[in-house]
Amino acid sequence: MSYLEMQGIIKSFSGVRVLNEVNFSLNRGEVVALLGQNGAGKSTLIKILSGYYNKDGGKILINGEEVHFHAPSDSLARGIRVIYQELELFPELSVAENIFMGDLPTKRFAGIPIRQKEEIEHRAQELLELLGEQIDPAIPVKKLSVSEKQVVEIARALAKKANIIVMDEPTATLSQKEVEKLFGIIRKLREQDVGIIYITHRLEEVFTISNRVVVLRDGKNAGFFDTQDTSWQELVQAMIGRSLEELYPRRTSTLREDRIMLRVDNLDIPGLLEKTSFELHEGEILGIFGLVGSGINELALGLFGALPIRGKIEMNGQTISIHSPAMAKNLGFGLIPADRKQEGIIPELSVMHNITMASLNNYKKRGFLRRADEKTCVCEWVDKLKIRLHSIDQPIKSLSGGNQQKVVLARWLATQSKILIASEPTQGVDVGTRVDIYNIFDNLAKNGLGIIVLSSDLPEVLALSDNILVLEGGNIVGRFTKGEADEQTILYLAMGGKEKVAN
């Protein structure tokens, strides 16, 4: 008998069934990966487990006893804690205060409750040491790195006597070193008999840290797997519901050697990038690989005018200046930023307005906006990019992450961009949408666009790119054609190995 069992869970919204008799189980001291495309039902299932939603049918059992969660407090009382991608901490309060928030030990003096600061910090230190961390419990949370903030969330879960911890995309913003550190903490939690539900789009992490895998598709169970007995091909097939010979398209290069669209010479961003030089040809996908902190995101923002740059840039043989995103847009650049939520979308605006915000002048006549033309353009791109939605007027925040990414891409295609800068284009995107984006890039290159893919996903860069640059510490440390590139050499260089520049 499993410690947690969810049996036949049913949930509907506005008459639409989003969970259809879903089963899930978790043992103490076990890590179960919960996989599925965006919209598969993962978030709904977790919100039922955490008491945010009431189920319409089915049972939840803990240690063999049926339980009913009508509010988050009911779930917390049963030792269930969810650590979301957007951490729920109080930045101005100390680490210790965040860990024991809602249960701060106090003494009364003249009838007035007074926090026992030293005791709080001592107890916090014990929890942090249990996780193998040396974080000062007295400092404000705002001074911590993202990975350290995650540790505080985990310590808070332990302070609440959590038996089950749900981790939602915990490595989305972490460096490789921080990911390995998190996995070490997860192993410690497992040793302490804590059960962990691990939600991720990164299949390599599934094989590193999980014992079992549960896959959802279209609100139903699509497969149950023992991690050691399965393969990524089986998991991908379960998630998307069809056979997939390979994740990446079989690209035939469309690079036109005689047509240089962009030439960058000694581009410099003070303190971030040094003497970066490269060329982008018509119909080329240029891959720039780097680990988190290498400078790939800064390079993308610099090329789009969002960071101050120095150096010489030529477009179609003419020297240009890019001092702002508006200038970049007018020159024919488009940007898919790494941080979609902060830099790519305006969450409260509709899908339509998020697509047309960069091309509104195209729909104006004598100072008036032609709504019919705007709507026609939006519907055309929604259809071409297979954006899944109910209405173009719905807020973009209600779409899945993958569909939000397609909206950002549609925005720049609507401006008829000639050069697309794509920074971490498939980060936080499910497998099915990832395949769609790869095929879109392939087709855009065939139609003559120049695409710069800046990514920390090495297989992605290797599969898509005609030429590959390796960035480390703000410097280009490797240059390869598609035929020269191999995974081991590129990763070695990206991790600070001896410089090797292939001419």
Domains of the chain: 4-240 (3.40.50.300), 256-494 (3.40.50.300)
Give the CA count within 13 Å in the CB-facing half-sphere of 94.
17
Instruction: Please say whether the beta carbons of 423 and 412 come within 8 A.
Output: no
Rg of the chain over CA atoms, in angstroms?
25
CA gap 205, 209 in Å, rounded: 6
- Dihedral (Cα; 424, 429, 431, 435), 10-degree rounding: -60
CA gap 7, 67 in Å, rounded: 12
Q: CA distances (Å), 322 to each of 204, 318, 330, in order?
A: 38, 13, 10
Phi/psi of residue 219, nearest 5 degrees? 80, 10
Tokens of 63: 């240690």
CA gap 484, 462 in Å, rounded: 10
CA gap 431, 242 in Å, rounded: 12
Q: CA distances (Å), 252 to each of 186, 249, 330, in order?
A: 42, 9, 30
Which residues lie below 8 Å from residue 229, measured CB to CB, with a gap of 6+?
Answer: none
CA gap 472, 289 in Å, rounded: 9
**pTM passes above 0.85:** no
Q: What is the pLDDT of residue 501?
A: 45
In the sheet that holds 273-282, the strands lie side by side as 273-282, 256-269, 310-315, 318-320
Q: Token pair 């050691």 is at which residue?
A: 228
Instruction: Please say whether the beta carbons of 145 and 121 come within 8 A.
Output: no
CA gap 298, 295 in Å, rounded: 5
Residues of the chain with pLDDT under 50: 110, 499-503
Tokens of 336: 């898919």
Instruction: Look at residues 427, 424, 459, 420 and name the one whose alpha carbon lies nearest to residue 442.
Output: 420
Instruction: Please say whether the beta carbons of 485 and 460 come within 8 A.
Output: no
Q: CA distances (Å), 423 to each of 194, 302, 338, in order?
A: 36, 12, 5
DSSP run (H or E) holding 166 = strand 164-168
Q: What is the pLDDT of residue 85?
A: 72
DSSP run (H or E) holding 59 = strand 57-62
Q: What is the pLDDT of residue 479?
A: 92
Instruction: Output b/e per residue, 219-232; b: 16+ Cβ within 10 A.
Output: bbbbbebebeebee
Instruction: Look at residues 385, 324, 326, 322 and name the one whose alpha carbon lies nearest to residue 351.
Output: 385
In the sheet that holds 31-35, the strands lie side by side as 80-83, 164-168, 195-199, 31-35, 212-217, 220-226
Tell me the per-residue pLDDT of 274-305, one tens digit each, with 9 for 90 and over. 888 999 999 999 999 987 778 888 999 999 99
CA gap 265, 317 in Å, rounded: 13
Q: What is the pLDDT of residue 103?
A: 64
